[in-house]
Amino acid sequence: MKYKVVLLALVLAGIGSFSQAEPIPIPAAPEFEASSYVLMDHASGSVLAQHNPRKHVEPASLTKIMTAYLVYKALAQGDVHLDDAVSISEKAWRSVGSRMFVEVGDKVPLVDLLRGMVIQSGNDASIALAEHLAGTEESFAEMMNAQAKQLALEDSRFINSTGLPAEDHYTTAYDVALLSRAMIHEFPEEYRRYAQKEFTFNNIRQHNRNRLLWKDETVDGIKTGYTTTARYCLAASAERKGMRLISVVMGAASPRSRMINSQALLSYGFRYYELHKLYHAHEALIERRIWHGESKFLQLGLDHDLFVTIPRGRSHSLKAVVHVEPDIMAPVSEGDELGTIKITLGDEEVAEEPLVALKSNPKGGLWRRLFDFFIRLY
């Protein structure tokens, strides 16, 4: 598609209020022994550090992030409810590994199973929830894979709801970060459970395995994982001064290693990068002439807020240029893509997003179309 470049760069929203301090030299990101890892900004999706980010690895209990996501989605849609009495099957009761100690035949409130899965990493709770949503854990795995496609998790495949070792059950550090980002963004109220440090069920008190919750008060999630083949995994998230980061470490050598190195990634990101919200969703960024429409002009903008994550002290180097179609003809529907906006930092492109019509503009009446026809003709 041909675009006309608008030579006058747009003024970045609020850019004058950003710090113009001297840029901080950015050192290399932390390096350590692990199968793979990723550090991602939650708002912008920018990857700030990575090692083998798309390597297929066993997710262990990080699988339960997807299990929880599907439960949260079902809750939001009204398909299940927190006070549902969930029947505990023999399969759930017999599950191995971490458990919340439900009993076969019990009716357990769904909210307790959620706590048992999120806080205690209960495999019995995960299977019970999967069966409640889909009838069988196998059918639930199909739901997991369908959701993975919708979230563009291109290197993930799920066989069960727990993360217990299974052939062809895998993900990547990058996909776990994407999934975590979606979960936090879409279900912020449900996400709060991940910060809970302990949970008691059947008079058994168990602690959250994410030791970063005790080490760093800004950390509020997300999930640990371990099997002998996956080794030690941790997806963590922290928020400081309005900036949230997500770290994912896969295949660390020990619980201490996954905790220390997750902390190192988060500290690196907060120390050397800053987040800026450049434009609001549905804000008019540019107005263009539209031909043969009811209205003569059409406003273009973004269908979502635009954030960028950049090295500290370099906001003054941000620039924006819009590219729009040279001739916009009615009819146009709200949301139609009619151009792009590119954000650069020096010579580096840091974001590119489509510009969309903020309102529909149908074809105008006969006189409007005739008038525009002769204007364009001459």
pLDDT in tens, the chain (378 residues): 455 555 434 445 444 444 455 677 899 999 999 999 999 999 999 999 999 999 999 999 999 999 999 999 999 999 999 999 999 999 999 999 999 999 999 999 999 999 999 999 999 999 999 999 999 999 999 999 999 999 999 999 999 999 999 999 999 999 999 999 999 999 999 999 999 999 999 899 999 999 999 999 999 999 999 999 999 999 999 999 999 999 999 999 999 999 999 999 999 999 999 999 999 999 999 999 998 889 999 999 999 999 999 999 999 999 999 999 989 999 999 999 999 999 999 999 999 999 999 999 998 777 766 675 667 666
The residue from 35, 61, 237, 262 that is catalytic is: 61
Distance CA 147, CA 135 (A): 17
CATH architecture of 4-19+278-377: Sandwich (2.60)
Domains in the chain: boundaries:
4-19+278-377, 36-252
Distance CA 57, CA 86 (A): 32
Residue for token digits 């350590």? 32
**The pLDDT of residue 18:** 46
Is 309:45 a contact under the CB 8 Å cutoff?
no
295 is catalytic: no
Largest CA distance in the chain: 85
Is beta strand 297-301 parallel, antiparallel or unpaired with respect to 107-109?
A: unpaired
In a 13 Å sphere around the CA of 93, the CA atoms on its Cβ side amount to 12
The residue from 35, 36, 64, 161 that is catalytic is: 64
How do residues 253-275 score in pLDDT, each as one tens digit?
Answer: 999 999 999 999 999 999 999 99
Alpha helix segments (H runs only) across the chain = 63-77, 90-93, 110-118, 123-134, 137-150, 173-186, 188-191, 212-215, 255-272, 366-377
121 is catalytic: yes
Question: 85 Cβ partners below 8 Å, 6+ apart?
Answer: 107, 108, 109, 110
**Same CATH topology for 4-19+278-377 and 36-252?**
no
267 is catalytic: no
The residue from 35, 44, 95, 121 that is catalytic is: 121
Task: Provide the token pair at 74.
Answer: 């079902």
Q: Which fold has domain 36-252?
A: Beta-lactamase (3.40.710)
Distance CA 336, CA 338 (A): 6
